[in-house]
Amino acid sequence: MIVAITGASGFLGSALARSLSSDDIHVLRIGRGHDADVRWDPNAGELDARRLAGVDVVVHLAGENTGKRWTSRVKREIRESRVRGTSLIARTLATLDQKPRVLVSASASGIYGSHRGDDVLTESSALGDDFLASVCKDWERSAEPAREAGIRVAYGRSGVVMHPTGSMLQRLLPFFSLGVGGRLGDGKQWLSWIARTDWVRAIRFLIDAKVEGPYNVSAPNPVTNAEFTRTLGRVLNRPTLMKVPEIAIKLAFGEMGEDNALASQRMVPERLLAAGFRFDYPQLEPALRHELNSR
């Protein structure tokens, strides 16, 4: 089997590539650099379709980081990086004489909206209407040309992936390790999370199983920010007495702080579980201990 991956140099794509390669699956890295196996430039609408001939699977993960202050320019880059890249991948795959059998395209929990309170969010829940939700909806729609061409398309709506080399955990560890970590705001907001080990396994499940459409890629036991804070402090054996006021987050990060750092999304992987996927780390504390020990 040959699997082509965008975003293969990131902390998620690199882990997926290593997992596939360890099973003697040939991985092609789609990227801009000279070391890429398949060259592309989404901004210029360029993708070397010839190098995708004979590929069995495409996993599309590339996209601009959302964890920085959202100026008008940054918001445009976030949207365009996802829509342009996905559209280019989908349209190119649709033109191939020998099409891949599946496209797994990244999406995110943000599609449900940032402030859903205690609502339990499954794949059939109503979608949101804020900035990240609109980006995610356009992101998923951009893969439509591949589906129309007969390619099986699965969307992985990821929660926060837990690993010390990336995402939220990487940013928090220096503070928590020094004993100055604490909850954000009142700590009641829900966090949908997943161990990177299980994230890789879930993406491989979407590749191998005959499934399509949206799948929530998160652990079955989301936690509140207060519970996450206590658990990470316990794992690191550090106090977690600090509190970051909500107003400070909003002043420091603006809209990103309100709709990303303070988001409340209680997402559960209903379709993934129904399809037969089983998590190695369904609970937060064992997941954190495993991922912190794996660095």
Q: What is the pLDDT of residue 279?
A: 98
217 touches 277 (CB < 8 A)? no
Q: Which of 7-11, 135-139, 291-295 has the lowest mean pLDDT?
A: 291-295
Round to whole Å and give the CA distance between 130 and 103.
27
Q: Is 294 helix (H, G, I), strand (E, B) or coil?
A: coil
| Region 2-289: CATH code | 3.40.50.720
Average pLDDT value for residue range 82-95:
97
More confident residue, 258 or 290: 290
The rounded mean pLDDT for the chain is 95
pTM above 0.85, yes or no: yes
Residue that is written with structure tokens 């499934």 in the block: 211
Residue that is written with structure tokens 């940013």 in the block: 171
Average pLDDT value for residue range 98-109:
97
What is the DSSP annotation of 253-290?
A: HHHHIIIIIT-EEEE--HHHHHTT---S--SHHHHHHH
Q: What is the pLDDT of residue 258?
A: 83
pLDDT tens readout for residues 31-56: 998 889 999 999 999 999 999 999 99
Q: What is the pLDDT of residue 165?
A: 93
> Does residue 295 register a pLDDT over 70?
no
More confident residue, 215 or 245: 215
Average pLDDT value for residue range 63-77:
91
Average pLDDT value for residue range 263-289:
98
Query: How far is C-alpha 55 from the chain's CA centre?
Result: 23
> Does residue 183 register a pLDDT over 80?
yes
Q: Which of 67-76, 103-112, 250-259, 269-278 has the lowest mean pLDDT?
A: 250-259
pLDDT tens readout for residues 235-264: 999 999 999 888 988 887 888 888 888 899
147 touches 183 (CB < 8 A)? no
